[in-house]
Homo-oligomer: A and B are copies of this chain.
Amino acid sequence: MYTDQRSPGQPGIRTGASAPAPADPDHPSRALASFAAGLRFEAIPAAVVDRAVNLYVDWLGSALAGKGARPVESIARFARASGGREGPSEILIDRGGAPAYFAAMVNAAASHFVEQDDVHNGSVLHPATVVFPVVLALAQESGASGREMMTAAVAGYEVGIRIGEYMGRSHYKVFHTTGTVGTLAAAAAAGRLLGLDEAGMLHAFGSAGTQASGLWEFLRDAADSKQLHTAMAAANGLMAARLAADGFRGAARILEGAQGMAAGMSSDADPARLLDRLGQRWATMETSFKYHAACRHTHPAADALLAVIAEHGVRVHDIVHVTARVHQGAIDVLGNVRVPHTVHQAKFNMGTVLGIVAHRGYAGVHEFEQGYDAPEIAAFRDKVAMVLDEEVDRAYPARWIGKVSVELADGRILQGRVDEPKGDPGNTLSREEISAKFLRLAAFAGGAQAPQAQAMLDRAWEIAALPNVGSVFAPGRSA
């Protein structure tokens, strides 16, 4: 009964074989789609591939660490009950097979739970947790090589980070960028692995962007939405790409159009960021690893406090007050919680994080679980205040400077400062440190124990050389 609804003369409709349109500076969505669709492994510098492998290994640990977490298990139960009981892709928390859609959904929920997944400063996007679940699930489904998978991942990082920068600080004030923009990062990665051409990728962007969602409101209530955001960014991005491969059409200017993402969800979008040195500046390299298992906005102050303690030999009991000098974004995100009621909320509480680093020297997953509300931590928490610092705020989000003022019982006030918190690009983690973090996270919730965890780790480091990605648990077996 239906007439064909494809109009032959219109650009961007055919998926699969159309010739690339000439680059149009007024159509950045298309230029970005062209880049993502055309990215080749050979064009990615070796250092970028190496860094992407580091990010993958780092992500894998976070995904395993989500095992047993109530919100993650809840999403997994939903997936199982909704048709996700078997399939070619692995759900990492229970090693079951599932359709790629649900594997991506659950692994994305899992890898964002312990707050140890990576972050890109300038975009305030957590790329790994929305990109790797998608490329792993699709690579396992299709038998893709590690090269193909890593190429797709880099496409996701480069696209997602630029869109995050484009959407600006006004967006992040209300929206959880990893939920919203993460949908496009996931779509770019999925589209690349599915082999979409420029036109198809543009359709995928359209279908992804029109599903972009995620509000910060949940933080006030210690609600579980953060995992839902990453789960659905990954799943919806994968769906958008898969639909595009099937001829499903999206808006051509979902980023910059008059009724597109920026029009609806940003008041300071900067189009220049979308194509910023595309193919020359590798934003993947700028991604930070999380050393502490807390919201990244707490890390600069945490490291600055550790620096003061180390430099001056401060005893924690001599500290009577700490002022964390922060950017406005930290106040927006962290300012809602005075007394945390859950581990997850504690990771978004500056006082708790500083209390843990002051008392334990490190705020890792175990340190939070073993008493985020212990008496000495709670007492320290009440000594901490955040204030807006003009220098820190001006540098943000390009640089996340940490500054603290520490008042001691003897009346001295010590100043602490770090210009690059541990894990930042200029202070990145070594492969040894990433391996140690992986083993810690794999064991944390029983996701994988030695010696298997070590075997998984060895295989993960070789990801870019694998002819077939296969199972992350059983080398040589398809997933």
Contact = CB atoms under 8 A, between A and B. Distances in A.
Nearest to A180: B213
A259 B174 contact: yes
A178 to B, nearest CB: 12
A74 B444 contact: no
B225 A251 contact: yes
Contact of A251 (B69, B207, B223, B250): B223
Contacts of A251: 215, 217-218, 220-221, 223, 225
B264 A250 contact: no
A183 to B, nearest CB: 9
A222 B83 contact: no
Contact of A210 (B6, B101, B217, B444): B217
Contact of A232 (B2, B69, B236): B236
Interface stretch (A32-40, A187-195, A338-346, A392-400): A338-346
Interface in A263-318: 263-265
A82 to B, nearest CB: 4
Contacts of A361: none
A351 interface: no
Contacts of A10: 221-222, 341
A234 to B, nearest CB: 13
A85 B85 CA distance: 12
Interface in A231-261: 232, 236, 239, 242-243, 246-254, 257-261
A71 interface: yes
Contact of A215 (B82, B247, B264): B264
A236 B211 CA distance: 11
**How many identical subunits does the complex contain?**
2
Nearest to A215: B210
A39 to B, nearest CB: 24
Contacts of A211: 213-214, 228, 232
A87, A98, A102, A206 — which one has the most chain B CB atoms within 10 A of its CB? A206
A209 B215 contact: yes
A50 interface: no
A390 interface: no
A5 B249 CA distance: 42
Contact of A101 (B2, B5, B83, B99): B83
A253 B78 CA distance: 24
A242 B83 contact: no
A95 interface: no
A203 B223 contact: yes
Nearest to A8: B341
A466 interface: no
A217 B259 CA distance: 5
Contacts of A247: 70, 74
Nearest to A209: B215
Interface string A123-142: 00000000000000000000
A408 B203 CA distance: 44
A328 B404 CA distance: 52
A52 interface: no
Contact of A74 (B74, B209, B212, B248): B248
Contacts of A2: 68-70, 343, 369, 445
A229 B253 contact: no
A473 interface: no
B83 A215 contact: no
A101, A223, A247 — which one has the most chain B CB atoms within 10 A of its CB? A223
A216 interface: yes
B217 A260 contact: yes
A369 B1 contact: yes
B225 A78 contact: no
Interface in A56-81: 68-71, 74-75, 77-78, 81
A45 interface: no
A430 interface: no
A3 B213 CA distance: 29
4 tightest A-B CB contacts, nearest first: A83-B83, A7-B341, A216-B259, A82-B101
Given A78-B246, A224-B249, 18 more contacts: A3-B369, A5-B342, A6-B342, A12-B221, A74-B247, A74-B248, A81-B242, A83-B84, A83-B87, A206-B225, A207-B225, A209-B217, A210-B215, A211-B214, A217-B254, A221-B251, A223-B251, A264-B265
